Copies of this chain bind each other. A is one copy, B any other.
Amino acid sequence: MNAPDPTSATRFEPQDPEFAVRVRASFARQRAMTLIGATLSLVEPGLCEIELPWHEALTQQKGYVHGGIIGMIADSACGYAAYTLMPATASLVTVEYKINLLAPARQGLLVARGAVVKPGRTLSITSGEVYARHAGRSVLVAATQQTLMMLPDTPDTPEADEVPRTGAE
């Protein structure tokens, strides 16, 4: 499940040379990322990073960032890592993810890093980590593993009259 080390991130060859533009446009449509204040900080073939500054509005009862918020940015970072390798005409849905919360995030900047473990015709597998950076330190706060499903020839945008599609139908 080794995430690729940064220098080897180009081991995956994207099918769509415009993958980064496509990923950034899709991310920009994720209203939920805007709501929490997350931004897309890195897009490479098979690799994405999302940054999220700590904010009181994101906390749970003890003042830490809510585990579900950490799950959100991990899910999106991993999903977009896989999406970089998809054909331009496909859409991608999260089938499932599992996340371990390892340490509380009480301040600083959260960085979620998603990496493709195995890209696939139908299913893709990713793994990711979330770090909290503060005062020159970086602490691992979460580790995740995720399964995604490609929907071929399916737009990645809302459609007025679409028939909703997920893998589990």
Tell me if A133 counts as interface (CB < 8 A to partner B).
Answer: no
Contact A96 to B101, CB < 8 A, known contacts A143-B117, A144-B1, A169-B120: yes
- Contacting A103 at CB < 8 Å: which of B101, B156, B164? B164
Asked whether A62 lies within 8 Å of B156 as measured between CB atoms, the reply is yes
Interface residue count for A (Cβ, 8 Å)? 74
In A146-169, which residues have CB < 8 Å from any B CB?
147, 149, 156-158, 164-169
**A12 interfacial by beta-carbon distance below 8 Å:** no
A57 lies within 8 A of chain B by Cβ: yes
A11 close to B (CB within 8 Å): no
Copies in the complex: 4
A97-B99, A102-B166 given; name 11 further pairs at CB < 8 Å: A1-B143, A1-B144, A27-B61, A32-B59, A62-B156, A68-B75, A95-B95, A98-B145, A100-B145, A104-B165, A125-B168
Binding site for B on A (CB under 8 A): 1-3, 5, 26-27, 29-36, 56-69, 71-76, 91, 93-104, 106, 117-118, 120-125, 127-129, 140, 143-145, 147, 149, 156-158, 164-169
